[in-house]
A and B are shown apart, each in its own frame.
Chain A
Amino acid sequence: MIRWLAGRLLQTLATYALAVTLLFIMMRLTPGDPLAGLSDERPLPAEARELLRRRYRLDQPVLTQYADFLAGALRGDLGVSIAQHGRPVTALIRERLPATLLLGTTALAAMFGIGIAVGVLQATRAGSVTDRVLGILSLTAYATPSFWLGLVLTWALAIEWHWFPVAFMHAPLLDPDAGWWVRLTDLLWHLVLPVTTLTLVSFGAVARYQRAAMLEALGLGAIRTARTKGLRDRSILWHHAWRNSVGPMLALFGLWLPLVVAGSVFVESVYAWPGLGTLAAESIGSRDYPVIMGVAILVSAVVIGGNLLADLLHGWLDPRLRPSQ
């Protein structure tokens, strides 16, 4: 067991190292110049350019830059932003991460909660009107572009009816000395529309997978046995059937987990949500190499970690996948 875990961990680390290397190389292969945006479209004087290149070590061979990056990253230093005139990347990320974490975690929980409930309900009523209506609704929601839905929701619920704020994470005029309760409700208030948008456009995928997985599980002989032995419906549905459907759900969860740190560029832009998604989009636009790498190693860590987590959870929930002692 320990050996298997160690092997799995080592494999994950190797994948991660490879991913980071590829990211670095690919970033440098794409055309573009991080210094181009610094002077508002006017060409930089040659000597200023040289100075900046030396300052950001862009004059070094790419391999040296990569080695520097790695050495720094291992010390927890991700370098400084070029577009933001030398601000440390770690500070930028630390500033943006909480907003994305909050939005991503809430939306992930909501999309899986709703998706699982809808999919299970559909599977238990397969072929019924309920099943078909829910299927059409979730597919439609899934096919809706998030920025469009965001704009529609903003227009209807924020601008027309004033139920929710239009944008941002806090009310701009909020008294900075307000009590924690006031600040918390204000935050949750601002969270509703972005979370709703993200959840609506994504729960359909979860519902579809859940429906299929649950239909298969409900057909198992084990479910027939559970009925013949007189278990309660709730136990048959969740303890027996649902637990046999978690494989695909965990894989899907692993795939969506990066949402927690990567955020959604569209949703963040529509609601001016100060998260990592917009930071990443900006840094890619301006070829701000250190920031791109900083965000990329964070996101790819969660991508690969999410995969590992899904595997481990699946092994924990399905004894057939555990390594034999």
Chain B
Amino acid sequence: MTMLLAVRDLRVSFPGATGPVYPVDRVSFELARGETVALVGESGSGKSLTGMALLNLVPAPGEVAPGSSVSLEGTEILKLRGEPLRRIRGARIGMVFQDPLASLNPVISVGDQIRETIQAHLPLGRREARTRAEALLAEVGLAGTPEGYQRYPHQLSGGMRQRVMLAIALAAEPDLLIADEPTSALDVTVQAQILTLLEGLRRARGLTVLLITHDLGIVAGRTDRVLVMYAGRIVEAAPTAELFAHPAHPYTAGLLGSLPRLRGPRQPLRPIPGQVPSPGDWPAGCRFHPRCAKSFAPCREEPPIVEVAGGHHMRCWLGKSGDSA
């Protein structure tokens, strides 16, 4: 498989009371063309900021720290400015967000919000772009009629709005789609419909997808690999089936343990006690150790990255002592 995106030592800094804090701290991963990768972790672990950084769109006053690298087939996105950067956004990498109502423009018809994206990147006239926008509306399961085109976000249901967001994100035929909690704001039944639609679009277009979610439940069976993020760092990375079968990092095990099971014997849910500390308050050493049931003396030191199995890595002292998985 050919590499599409390589992220190296990505750091996002925000000014804090006592110097900068790093909600995303030296994150590295790669996305192969056509792959679907999940980025999971609790709220506040830095998933959204990582996604925004891939488009060089970290909200002020945050910024990407020097030394970070996001390379899209050799193009260093974090070094781009102006027109070349604009040509990446939407055209090479598309993005959808959690809250489709807040993400759509309330005063522009949904069709026009798709059409302008097409025209921002493709040399098409208004009429041709409009025809394409109508086709996209139909492709995401909405009426591709002039009436459907003319509707405004407030006239649509939550699921329909997220369909529009998908049409916008794919309007300029990007290679990579970043979906940041695309279903978290939706009803469960609608969630499944959107995920199915996403899967269909991915297949039809050969998309690479980075699915950001806090819900491991939607990851199984839908993704090739999983990156588990905690407190600004990726703590475990593995093929999806391997991760579910043999979670190595105690944090991953904790996330899986807090998941309701549909099959097998009923077990009480065991949520991880406590919550993600805020970026200024991260403990030294392993950032998870104050919440970890298995923590021991070495955890106060920076944990090593160990290969648990082929393609399965984690950042934990347990791997070293042989007392893992």
**Given A221-B103, A222-B103, A224-B57, CB of A230 within 8 Å of CB of B154:** no
B97 at the interface (CB under 8 A from A): yes
Task: Report B104-124 residues with CB < 8 Å from chain A CB.
Answer: 104-109, 116-117, 120-121
A220 and B99 CA atoms in complex are apart in Å by 12
Q: Is there contact, CB below 8 Å, between A224 and B97?
A: yes
Q: Which listed residue, A221, A232, A319, A320, touches B120 by the CB 8 Å rule?
A: A232
A54 at the interface (CB under 8 A from B): no
A132 at the interface (CB under 8 A from B): no
Q: Is there contact, CB below 8 Å, between B104 and A222?
A: yes
B49 at the interface (CB under 8 A from A): no
Q: Is there contact, CB below 8 Å, between A230 and B106?
A: no
Residues of A within 8 A of B103 (CB): 221-222, 224-225
B interface residue numbers (CB < 8 A to A): 55, 57, 59, 86-91, 94-95, 97, 99, 102-109, 116-117, 120-121, 152, 154-155, 165, 168-169, 171-172
A235 at the interface (CB under 8 A from B): yes
**Given A230-B88, A230-B91, A320-B106, CB of A225 within 8 Å of CB of B120:** no
CB distance from B128 to the nearest CB of A (A): 18
Q: Is there contact, CB below 8 Å, between B108 and A227?
A: no
Q: Which listed residue, A222, A226, A232, A239, touches B106 by the CB 8 Å rule?
A: A222
Q: Is there contact, CB below 8 Å, between B152 and A230?
A: no
A75 and B91 CA atoms in complex are apart in Å by 65
**Given A221-B97, A225-B97, A320-B154, CB of A230 within 8 Å of CB of B117:** yes
Task: Sample 14 A-B pairs with CB under 8 A, ordered by A number.
Answer: A220-B105, A221-B97, A221-B102, A224-B57, A224-B97, A225-B105, A228-B89, A231-B120, A232-B86, A239-B108, A240-B105, A243-B107, A244-B105, A318-B106
Q: Is there contact, CB below 8 Å, between B120 and A229?
A: yes
Chain A 207-237: CB-based contact to B (< 8 A → 1; otherwise 0): 0000000000000111011111111100100
A221 and B103 CA atoms in complex are apart in Å by 5
Q: Is there contact, CB below 8 Å, between B121 and A228?
A: no
A317 at the interface (CB under 8 A from B): yes
